[in-house]
Amino acid sequence: MPKIQMAGIIRSRIQASAAAITMLFAFATLAQANVRVSPERVNFGSESVGSLGATHKVTITNENRHKITISGATSSTAQFSISEPSWPVVLNPGQSLTVEVKFKPSAAKSYFGSLEFERSGGSTISVRLRGTGSGQVTPSSPVAPTISTEPANVKITAGQSATFNIAATGTAPMTYKWMKNGVAIDGATSSNYTTPAESTADNNAQFTVEVSNSVGNTMSTAAVLTVTTASVAPAITTQPASETVIAGKPASFSVAATGTAPLTFQWSKNGTPIGGANSSTYTTAAETTADNSAKFTVEVSNSAGNATSNAAVLTVTNASVVPTITTQPASQTVIAGNSATFTVAAAGTGPLTYQWSKNGTPIGGANGTNYTTPAETTTDNNAKFTVAVSNSAGNATSNAATLTVSASTLILNSSASSLNFGSVTLPNVGTQTVTLTNAGNSSVTITNVTVSGAGFNATGVAGLILTAGQKATLTATFTPSGAGPVTGSISVVSTASNSPDSISLSGTGIAAPASHSVALTWSPSVSMVIGYNAYSSQVSGGPYTKMTSTPVPTTSYTDNSVLSGQTYFFVVTSVDSNNLESAFSTEASALVP
């Protein structure tokens, strides 16, 4: 491959003691597709003649999806030397090779060269080299910074951090100031800088570093940060389908897949890759019966992995077979307002085409194995539907399927036309139910329920849609507001033809009986007691029934259980702290009016 060299900025400084000239050159990047070299250029700076300078490392990384072979490496200039591994070196995907490069100038002059890595296919990968030979530099002659290794471009995946490095020569101490897109980075003051975890928002950010000492300063070239999203391995979403063709015709297979682009495709026939079959579709040459039952698969790959499809089977026949209908369309019965669906199954050499007809007239767009009519009316009752199935060898027409369209009926019946709640004592509530039934063949919607008559109410059915034969329960209640008879009605409005359905209501309110009570009081016991128990009886002298569950601490008690027209007899006892109860008191009586 051609090598490109660009002369860049030339800077010079004549040193008082050695009068050496340092020349700095910027070289254009020489890229090798899918192979990364870092750094792409090395500057050894100024080195005393005959002295072996600092060692620099050069790394080659295989970013292909396949392995590569590096057969050797040579230096174009004798002053530059490398530490060579045992050649050749095979690099698997993602694997790296690192060599050491040294500079030993033989004269006080500038040297330019290259390090050439040779691939087994004949192409080369180049790294530009430069350095300057000079006389001995004495401590009394300070030298301004010179960048010997520029920061290299870095490529990472989102979520990872990136590290940039620089090497410089000159009089110590030297200081470093790293910048991102021209803005100084806090704390980034060493010869290397590692970023925080990066996101794709920092893609193409440029990093530079200013190197300074007491004599002067110099600015590096910009290193570009590339941040990519994490690759997603391919997943096949649509498998290639089996095909049937006639001998002499080609077959076509296709696949659909997801995953991080770019995706590559490789089709295979019976497990052997097909040359040039590298897209999502593959069309064979004209087939022969020798390829009958051949299996075609495709491998989809990207940087994250690969996926292999299911096998699609190729069937090659000598000639087309006339279509045969294996399942005739069946007659259908629907209610007006609904659609009907007819289906056919056929055998024969593909591709098969279908054309449905109604009463002998082809239906536009009805070209599948099934056909669904629009919403039908009774005018289409007894319509005949057929389908013609065709291929290159001929056609076959199905039997006629008859469509029966019944008129829709919407009838809503109730289980009772009247409800009598009888007598309901205030403040009680009387409850009755009515069953509503859809007695038609189409759905009925209950749109509204209204109730008349004081104290009557109805719930449970408003807004319901009842299918044919479905039932619903209407709950009616009567809550009398006073004594006396009350009448009313419930009106159920629906989409049924017999709407509205009216249900008469009746009931009588009964006033609640008057409540009575007897208030008892007595004189306190002369002894120490904790309370008193009260007893009652409807017979003088007992037996008595205790009315208090626990002793009451006061000298009074009210009996709210008495009834009008009855006579009651009462006694009390006292209870001490040991729960000992005294004898009955004198009996008192009361006639309840």
Query: What pLDDT score was predicted for residue 211?
Result: 95
155 & 293 share domain: no
Query: What pLDDT score was predicted for residue 53?
Result: 77
71 & 188 share domain: yes
Is the residue at 14 inside a domain? no
**Least confident stretch, 63-77, 305-319, 371-385:** 63-77
**Least confident stretch, 25-29, 378-382, 570-574:** 25-29
438 & 387 share domain: no
152 & 43 share domain: yes
Query: What pLDDT score was predicted for residue 366?
Result: 96
Answer yes or no: is pLDDT of 7 > 90: no
Is the residue at 57 inside a domain? yes
Is the residue at 3 inside a domain? no
Is the residue at 224 inside a domain? yes
Contact predicate 321/339, CB 8 Å:
no
Confidence of residue 27 (pLDDT cuts 50, 70, 90): very low
Confidence of residue 8 (pLDDT cuts 50, 70, 90): very low
* Of 465, 487, 510, the domain-final residue: 510
**pLDDT (tens digit per residue) in 47-85:** 888 788 788 888 999 888 888 888 888 888 888 888 878
58 & 139 share domain: yes
> Average pLDDT for residues 29-52, to the nearest whole number?
76
Give the C-alpha distances (Å, rounded to integers) separating 474 from 2, 454, 470, 489, 499. Answer: 93, 18, 13, 13, 16
Query: What pLDDT score was predicted for residue 15?
Result: 30
Burial bucket for residue 383 (CB in 10 Å: 0-12, 13-18, 19+): middle
Beta strands in 185-323 (DSSP E): 192-194, 205-212, 217-219, 223-228, 235-238, 243-246, 252-254, 256-258, 264-269, 272-273, 281-283, 294-302, 305-308, 312-317
Question: Smallest Cα–Cα separation from 306: which of 228, 231, 254, 230?
Answer: 231
Q: DSSP readout, 534-593?
A: EEEESSTT---EE--SS-BSSSEEEE----TT-EEEEEEEEE-TT--B------EEEE--
Residues 6+ apart with CB under 8 A from 63: 34, 35, 36, 93, 94
Query: What pLDDT score was predicted for residue 73?
Result: 86
**pLDDT (tens digit per residue) in 164-206:** 999 999 889 999 999 999 999 999 999 999 999 999 999 999 9
100 & 123 share domain: yes
485 & 453 share domain: yes
Query: What pLDDT score was predicted for residue 359?
Result: 97
Confidence of residue 141 (pLDDT cuts 50, 70, 90): low
Q: DSSP readout, 209-246?
A: EEEE-SS-EEEPPPEEEEEEPPP---EEEEPPPPEEEE
* Of 380, 406, 432, the domain-final residue: 406
> Average pLDDT for residues 533-558, to the nearest whole number?
94
Answer yes or no: is pLDDT of 274 > 80: yes
> Average pLDDT for residues 7-28, to the nearest whole number?
29
- Using DSSP bridges, classify how beta strands 332-335 and 401-406 pair: parallel, antiparallel or unpaired: parallel
* Of 406, 438, 456, the domain-final residue: 406
Global pTM value = 0.35
Is the residue at 166 inside a domain? yes
Is the residue at 113 inside a domain? yes
200 & 242 share domain: no
Answer yes or no: is pLDDT of 504 > 90: yes
**pLDDT (tens digit per residue) in 408-430:** 999 999 999 999 999 998 889 99
198 & 49 share domain: yes
93 & 173 share domain: yes
Is the residue at 105 inside a domain? yes
Q: Which residues pair with 536 in a beta bridge?
A: 545, 570
Question: Smallest Cα–Cα separation from 7: which of 27, 21, 22?
Answer: 27
Note down the domain range covering 159. 35-228
**Pseudo-torsion of CA 577, 583, 587, 593, nearest 10°?**
50
189 & 66 share domain: yes
The total of structural domains in the chain comes to: 5
Structure token pair of residue 98: 């690192």
Is the residue at 26 inside a domain? no
CATH number at residue 277: 2.60.40.10
147 & 287 share domain: no
